[in-house]
Amino acid sequence: MTVLAREAVTRLTRLPARLGLRRCGAGHTWIAAASLTGWAMLVALDHGGGLAGLCSAAGWPARLAGAWRAGLVTGRLGACVAMSFAMVVAMTPPLTIGQLRFVARRSFPWRRARAAGLWLVGYLGTWALVAAVMSLVLMVLAPPGRMGVGVAAALALAASLWQLTPLKRRALAACHRVHPFPAAGRGADAACLASGARIGVACVATCGPVMAAAMASPWPLPALAAAFALALWERYAPRPRVAAGALALAVTGALLAARAFG
Amino acid sequence: MVIPIDNGVHTREDLWSLDVWDPTLLWYARAMGQMFKKPLQDPSSWRYQAAIHGYVEGDPDLDALMQPGDEIPDDAGAYWAQCQHHGWFFLPWHRAYLGYFERVVRKTIVGLGGPADWALPYWNYSDAAHNADVARLVRPEFIADALPDGTPNPFSRGVSRNPFNTVATPKGQAGDFNIGPNDVRLKCLTFPHFYDHASASSFGGGVTAFSHGEGGLDVEGGVEKTPHDNIHGDIGGWMDSFETAGLDPLFWLHHANIDRLWSVWMAAPGHASPTEPSWLNPAGPGFPYRFHDENGLSQTFAPASVLNSETSPFAYRYQDLHAPPHVMALAAKLQIPAAMTAAPPPTPPQLAGASDVNVDLSAEQVSVELPIQDQAPAINLAAVAGPGPRQAFLNIENVIGSGRLETRYIYLNLPDQTSPDEEPDLYVGSMPMFGVREMSLAAAGGGNGKNFVLNVTDVIRHLQQTGRWNGDLVRVFFVAKNPPTPGSKLTAGRISLYYR
């Protein structure tokens, strides 16, 4: 198992180089380790039945009436939030390589960790908040069974349409944007934090709909893995064709719809 | 004259050494005329060859050239808009681009009854040894209205360029596009490493993936900045944009010289091209690079195959590979140690100080102050000014602009009320605008703008030697080459000083 884990870390640290990015440094290793930890958490939290199944309290009316209370009492709400956080940790760090490199290289040596940390707080905080809200909404709207699959189908089709909009392309371009920041002082701290949050918002706008569809899927783990692959491709391919992602999502949506209503 | 093939190797000749309407130029013009008539989708057409460098649907200059029967080929995504800029693939990609273009032109020339020995000439605008008084002028053949037989001249007919003056030369009325000595300075030849970290200057550019100029930290090599970018901007018109540059016949002569400078740099002791597999045989999204050869067949290319021009698939050499004398003097001033390995030092340069963010550089003259951090004991930029291998790099980060943009010349610690002309030793380099507009557009990959890195070690040493260096504050002075056009906007994300 240790050998397998080591091999997985090695392969993931080589990913940026395989993607033609840069040679792996210590930063890449940390990013790979964080991502693998997130995936391990997801696997550990998954008890089958999909995210909705994991997070849902008993009975559709009960959920509507007191999802928060029920979740807190049963611990499912906590599991839901934990799963959202695990999902963010698993999927987003590899998308931040260029941004973190920018923040580190544009900082004084003694401020690098602080600048990168603040940037990550802004970025992961944005994503974690959105993912937690998504989970809670899905907990209510996508119960296990046909209706949940129907919701997943609708989300996949909506994500497919989103892929084709100019807003999606604009959001993807914004994910690549870097924000120059002052070299020192509170202004530098605030700018790093704000930059992380701004990129987080752009990232949510880029991948959020796909993530929501994956989370609502009856098989969230493989769906999240596919969404992760799509996000990596869109981020690092020289000229990604977002229409290809739209097609894949449309096909997925159609298959889910057939399952729900067929 | 066209120099005969020697052992299968063609010779690229010095443009200004050619006679008036030398066969090398005459056949090039005839081939251009022939290739321009071909449909856009034909890989041997002039416009297809230009589209390999850059193409954007809806570009008004490109739309104006559309002819009946033109189509966008289905595989345009794999072959068009591939030019590699702002990184370490700039030189090898353009070497292959020129090589295949040369083969297409040669086949066209042979088809027209011309010599099979034909090779692209190079425009050595930095030539201070043989043609110093005319080197920076555009040859008369490229601005003449007609070929010697009186037919329209493809080199000039309909070609978009900046306004220019004419100057009498022994070869006829040449074009003066206001290319100054600073635009063709070859400080890049003194840089010891082909590539380096993002905040250090190098000859060939920073490490990138497939790069059409999108990255937030990507930085071009010294040779790509000056003279490459300067010449693009000085000629202007088609030459001033990725999408149209290859349409101008001067583009190919300009890039032949840039390619020659790579050979000149390589010939210097201690210089070597990268040995990293990720440069020699890159893999991943966007790779391998693809071209069509002269027979329309698809070919892939990796930098490893073009390290030696004579043994490359394009089999050519240059008439002259001597570095100009002023480069040797510059190298002595910089005191840069000869590279012992192809790889740069493993430690990236450290930030010493930076300006505020979003610095407005739109005015004709702008002065920006960089406080040097006293918190870092090792920074001690006085050590840069002293003897030893320490180097200092001025970074102008994430420059974005709109409108017609003018080259900026940059000076360090220029005294108040002093004209830049009075202090030439404080000149650190230029900031040419080629690519800035494209890199400012969000659609082009984030709108991160362009990064400039200049080695300022020699100027800091000069300031210290003349008692004008205190190490606490650096003042960077920008002066526009020409008065900025009203409405044009130029902003730097930040200006910073790094040292190593």
pLDDT of the residue at B244: 97
Strands B427-431 and B359-360: what pairing? Answer: unpaired
> What are the Cα distances from residue B237, in Å, to A158, B55, B177?
44, 15, 12
Locus of tokens 């001025």: B394
Separation of CA B208 from chain center = 17
CB-nearest to B376 from A108, A169, A173 is: A108
Indicate yes or no: CB of A183 within 8 angstroms of CB of B373. Answer: yes
Q: Where are the alpha helices (DSSP H) in B148-305?
A: 222-223, 230-235, 249-267, 277-280
Please choose, from the candidates A59, A251, A52, A62, the residue with its C-alpha nearest in 3D space to the C-alpha of residue A134. A52
Structure-block tokens of residue B106: 């040669």
Q: Tell me the residues of chain B between 243 and 272 that have a Cβ less than 8 Å away from chain A.
A: none
Could you tell me the sign of the dihedral formed by the alpha carbons of A1, A35, A20, B187, in that order? negative
Q: Tell me the residues of chain A between 13 and 72 that have a Cβ less than 8 Å away from chain B.
A: 17-23
* DSSP secondary structure letter of residue B226: I
Please tell me whether the peptide bond between B227 and the residue prior to it is cis, using omega within 30 degrees of 0.
yes
In degrees, to the nearest 5, what angle opens at C-alpha A81 toward C-alphas A78 and A83?
A: 105
Residues of chain A neighbouring B287 (CB-CB closer than 8 A): 20
- For B279, nearest residue in chain A (alpha carbons): A20
- For A23, nearest residue in chain B (alpha carbons): B278
Strands B298-301 and B289-292: what pairing? Answer: antiparallel
Indicate yes or no: CB of A108 within 8 angstroms of CB of B351. Answer: yes
* DSSP secondary structure letter of residue A191: H
> Three-state DSSP class for B309?
coil
CB-nearest to A17 from B210, B216, B278 is: B278
Q: Which residues of chain A fall below pLDDT 70?
A: 1-27, 45-79, 142-145
CB-nearest to A182 from B207, B284, B356 is: B356
pTM attached to this predicted model: 0.89
CA distance B23 to chain A (A): 41
Cβ atoms of A112 and A104 closer than 8 Å: yes
CB-nearest to B285 from A173, A177, A237 is: A237
- For B378, nearest residue in chain A (alpha carbons): A109
CB-nearest to A181 from B278, B357, B376 is: B357
Please name the residues in contact with B204: beta carbons below 8 A apart, sequence gap of 6 or more. Answer: B88, B90, B91, B194, B195, B221, B223, B224, B262, B273, B274
Indicate yes or no: CB of A20 within 8 angstroms of CB of B283. Answer: yes
Q: Which residues of chain B fall below pLDDT 50?
A: 377-379
CA distance B412 to chain A (A): 20
CB-nearest to B446 from A108, A177, A180 is: A177
Q: Answer whether B451 touches A (CB < 8 Å).
A: no
Q: Up-side HSE of residue B310: CA atoms within 13 Å toward CB?
A: 10
Please choose, from the candidates B205, B184, B112, B214, the residue with its C-alpha nearest in 3D space to the C-alpha of residue B441. B214
Indicate yes or no: CB of A183 within 8 angstroms of CB of B353. Answer: yes
The amino acid that residue B346 corresponds to is P
Q: Answer whether B358 touches A (CB < 8 Å).
A: yes
> What are the Cα distances from residue A19, in Å, to A233, B88, B109?
9, 16, 41
Distance CA B24, CA B40 (A): 25
> What is the interface pTM, i.e. ipTM, of the complex?
0.87
Residues of chain B neighbouring A191 (CB-CB closer than 8 A): 357
Indicate yes or no: CB of B354 within 8 angstroms of CB of A182. Answer: yes
Indicate yes or no: CB of A180 within 8 angstroms of CB of B358. Answer: yes
Residues of chain A neighbouring B443 (CB-CB closer than 8 A): 169, 173
Q: Answer whether B387 touches A (CB < 8 Å).
A: no
Exposure string over A48-60, b if 16+ CB within 10 A, otherwise e: ebbbbbbbbbeee
The amino acid that residue B149 corresponds to is D
Distance CA A79, CA B361 (A): 53
Q: Answer whether A98 touches B (CB < 8 Å).
A: yes
Q: Answer whether A167 touches B (CB < 8 Å).
A: no
- For B208, nearest residue in chain A (alpha carbons): A21
Residues of chain A neighbouring B493 (CB-CB closer than 8 A): 178-180
**How many CB pairs below 8 A link A and B?**
108
CB-nearest to B285 from A19, A98, A110 is: A19
Distance CA B279, CA B418 (A): 45
